[in-house]
Amino acid sequence: MSVTRRDFLKLAGTIGAGAVLGTYKSEIASVFAQAADDGVKLVWLQGQGCTGCTVSLIQGTHPDLYDAILKLHVDIPFHPAIMAASGKEAMDTLDAVKPDILVIEGSVPDAEYCEVGGRPFIDVVKTMAAKSGVVVAVGSCSAFGGIPAAKGNPTNARSVSEVLGKTVVNIPGCPPHPDWMLLVVASVVLGIIPELDDKGRPVAFFSEEIHENCARRGYYDRGDFAKDFTETDMSYEKCLWKVGCKAPITRADCSVRKFNNGVNVCMNAGAPCIGCADPGFPDSASPLYVELEKVPTFVGIDTDTAGKVAIGAAGVGIAAHAVRRGIKKHPKSKEE
């Protein structure tokens, strides 16, 4: 079965790109082959980050990076971690290229804290964005500030959209799932700008809270909560809410997409979600292993989180107080 570009657009528009891409993993390769023969120029910049986003990218399987480059006809003249060139040769390449897609990994601090080829990273970001087609911010650092912008923020780390003063395609996650990065790039190459939410995230991947489709959701609904980390193994049949799971306020499709080639996801492995894809991460999720309602930022101090709860209350997702009421109502809940 092959999927034409027209089918792809039609399906993506009706049932969501995520569902299309998940269902037609192998067929998507045939769509890639229809991409322009000219080649698409993609430049990848790295600022304040840990390179985890790039490491995640190269674990991609649907498509893998090889397919993405060869079948999408993507030319990547500049990527600090994987290109062969270095020094002046690398910077000359950067100066010469006019990218169709500019991908930025890592947050953007004040000029003195981060340089690329001896130039302030913030200047390189602005210069390259001005001559690029689509700007994609990968990772929570680039999309929302992330760990470098955590409380205190001594380097004045900011997101790409803050620095550029405009909306970009944001793919959060620390790190993001490789599918999110590769499939967004695939869409852009095919001329499809993914539908974005009010925080610039592709709705195909970030429209529901992770909690909605968690394999432990039944234990949550029954009020069976792990009391500590001696009960987080899946065999205990407990929900991780009380050991700090942040999935009820974190939007992403991790529960169904899973990581490591679809093998597993944090909660199934006994680790509560730490909310790494949340716009307020890490402050909104800290302390990481403390029950959500005991996290100070969650009860209204943090304006971003407060806004998100309001969105949930409007019907898009779970509202904090609805979560709490749901637990309290249950006869087995220890909160009663």
Active-site annotation, residues: 50, 53, 141, 174, 211, 214, 239, 245, 254, 266, 273, 276
Separation of alpha carbons 48 and 52, rounded Å: 11
Q: Contact 299/291 with Cβ under 8 angstroms? A: no
Q: Which does 41 bind (CB under 5 to 8 A by kind): ligand SF4, ligand FSX, none?
A: none
Nearer to ligand SF4, 211 or 257 (CB): 211
From the list 33-41, 129-137, 175-183, 234-242, the region that binds ligand SF4 by CB under 6 A is: 234-242
Separation of alpha carbons 159 and 151, rounded Å: 14
Q: Does 247 bind ligand SF4 (CB under 6 A)?
A: yes
Q: Exactly one of 211, 251, 257, 308 binds ligand SF4 (CB under 6 A); which one?
A: 211
Q: Which residues bind ligand FSX (CB under 6 A)?
A: 49-53, 105-106, 139-142, 146-147, 174-175
Q: Does 223 bind ligand SF4 (CB under 6 A)?
A: no
Q: Going by DSSP bridges, is the β-strand pair 115-116/74-78 parallel, antiparallel, or unpaired?
A: unpaired
Q: Exactly one of 32, 144, 241, 281 binds ligand SF4 (CB under 6 A); which one?
A: 241
Residues contacting residue 3 through CB under 8 Å, at least 6 positions apart: 11, 24, 27, 28, 30, 31
Nearer to ligand SF4, 89 or 335 (CB): 335
Shortest Cβ 292–ligand SF4 spacing (Å): 8
Written as one string, the DSSP assignment of 184-208 is HHHHHHTT-PPPB-TTS-BHHHHSS
Q: Does 267 bind ligand SF4 (CB under 6 A)?
A: yes
Copy the structure tokens of residue 332. 């087995």
3-state helix, strand, coil in the chain (%, to 5): 45, 10, 45
Nearer to ligand FSX, 90 or 138 (CB): 138
Q: Does 239 bind ligand SF4 (CB under 6 A)?
A: yes
Report residue 259: phi and psi, to 5°: -110, 180
Residues contacting residue 74 through CB under 8 Å, at least 6 positions apart: 39, 40, 42, 68, 185, 189
Ranges within 270-309 binding ligand SF4 (CB under 6 A): 273
C-alpha 181: how far from its chain's center?
A: 8
Shortest Cβ 91–ligand SF4 spacing (Å): 45
Shortest Cβ 204–ligand SF4 spacing (Å): 20
Q: Which residues bind ligand SF4 (CB under 6 A)?
A: 210-211, 214, 216-217, 220, 239-241, 245, 247-248, 267, 273
